[in-house]
Homo-oligomer: A and B are copies of this chain.
Amino acid sequence: MTHAQGRHFLQIPGPSPVPDRVLRAMDMPVIDHRSAEFAELGKAVLSGSQKIFQTSGPVVIFPSSGTGAWEAAIVNTLSPGDKVLMVETGHFATLWQKMAVRFGLDVEFMPGDWRHGADPVAIGERLSQDKSHAIKAVMVVHNETSTGVTSRIAEIRKAIDAAKHPALFLVDTISSLGSAEYKHEAWGVDVTVSCSQKGFMLPPGLGFNAISDKARAAAKTGGMPRSYWDWEEMLKPNASGFFPYTPATNLLYGLRESIAMMLEEGLDHVFARHKRLAAATRAAVEHWGLEVLCQNPEEYSPVLTAVVMPPGHDADQFRKVVLENFNMSLGAGLTKLAGKVFRIGHLGECNELTLLGALSGVELGLSIAGVPHRAGGVAAAMKLLEDRTNANLANHLKIIKN
């Protein structure tokens, strides 16, 4: 029996729920994109975005999805035939690799099992072998949205440095930025790719590139034929708060508001909250006797948790039961994980009670769908959250670590 009353629980790993404050900020008349009033908005979102990417360098904002921002990173910095090193961390890394191939790049795709992040050691070794510096870029996904596995970006940076390799470092933070700790500048990333509909808590429609000096220099002399995605065309009018073509004004209203919300909470608190909610989710999953797809505790995603279905049970059938009975959307398994995992998003404006409501829906859904599990997962998650509050918080965070 289907019923879909009340508030929908959108627990996919993005788009994440848009806070009322952000929706309302967007619900205003559009303004002249060549006016002084617009320039204030433009400057506010451009400098605000730098704070979120943690960089003093430029961030460009495209009216596009995150996929467009992937493309922008490629066409500005690389040329057809360029060799690049990518890592198969999951579905989205694979899509980015396919895009790179479409643009004529010579992609070396390090295979992966979709349960681990990119291996800094392996990357370092591969680069060390590349004496001729044929590899022009290393391209890694920070948080694989399809698997709930993160890659250790700071360690990969160190590996590149240790190999004394000049390759550009391009990182996809589409689902991590604003939810998981990320430092574009301190971590020495050359191009960071992101979008609006995850940690930024906005509807889809904006793509981002944070750009290092090295990347910008590379773009000035190289890259592919481009126009829409061209950084320099963006950066010229950006300097005075404007854009080279009509920007997605109302999404920028929302962006200004969501950046304000993140800074009000404090980025450190935002990151700690996501870690805490992710830990609670894993506590539930483990209690249920189900398996978290991610196999390396150091690489657990604070953004989403992918859960492996027991053999003989279809994840999509389970998701259907949950949607119809409890008005909650969970993420599907993608391509080779289709039917085998479901994904619980716990990002953006998610808080403890929203998460516990969501986990309740998962546990109830497991029962109703007849999926074998041990009852009490929600209680296990509550226990973790309660300890967090009762115990010394700093201590606690040290323990859960991720």
Contact = CB atoms under 8 A, between A and B. Distances in A.
Interface in A7-30: 7-10, 12, 14-15, 17-20, 23-24, 26-30
Interface in A210-254: 224-228, 244-251
A70 to B, nearest CB: 8
B24 A349 contact: no
Contacts of A226: 102
Interface in A176-208: 195, 197, 203-205
Interface string A343-355: 0000001111111
A225 B18 contact: no
Interface in A314-371: 323, 325-329, 332, 349-358, 360-361, 363-364, 367-368
A292 B1 CA distance: 30
Interface stretch (A40-48, A50-58, A373-381): A373-381
Interface stretch (A126-134, A298-306, A385-393): A385-393
Interface string A75-88: 00000100000000
A26 B6 CA distance: 18
Given A197-B246, A364-B385, A378-B360, A228 B7 contact: no
Nearest to A378: B378
A66 interface: yes
B64 A228 contact: yes
Interface stretch (A31-39, A136-144, A148-156, A161-169): A31-39
Contacts of A270: 5
Nearest to A28: B20
Contacts of A23: 27-29
B7 A30 contact: no
B224 A225 contact: yes
A365 to B, nearest CB: 9
Interface in A244-289: 244-251, 265, 269-270, 273
Contacts of A35: 323, 329
B24 A27 contact: yes
A379 B364 CA distance: 10
Nearest to A362: B353
A104 interface: yes
Interface of A: 1, 3, 5-10, 12, 14-15, 17-20, 23-24, 26-35, 62-68, 71, 80, 98-99, 102-104, 195, 197, 203-205, 224-228, 244-251, 265, 269-270, 273, 323, 325-329, 332, 349-358, 360-361, 363-364, 367-368, 375-376, 378-379, 382, 385-386, 389-390, 393
27 contacts: A3-B269, A3-B273, A5-B349, A6-B19, A8-B31, A12-B32, A23-B29, A30-B204, A63-B64, A63-B65, A63-B204, A66-B246, A67-B245, A195-B246, A203-B249, A204-B246, A204-B247, A204-B250, A224-B225, A353-B358, A356-B357, A356-B378, A357-B357, A357-B358, A357-B360, A364-B385, A378-B378
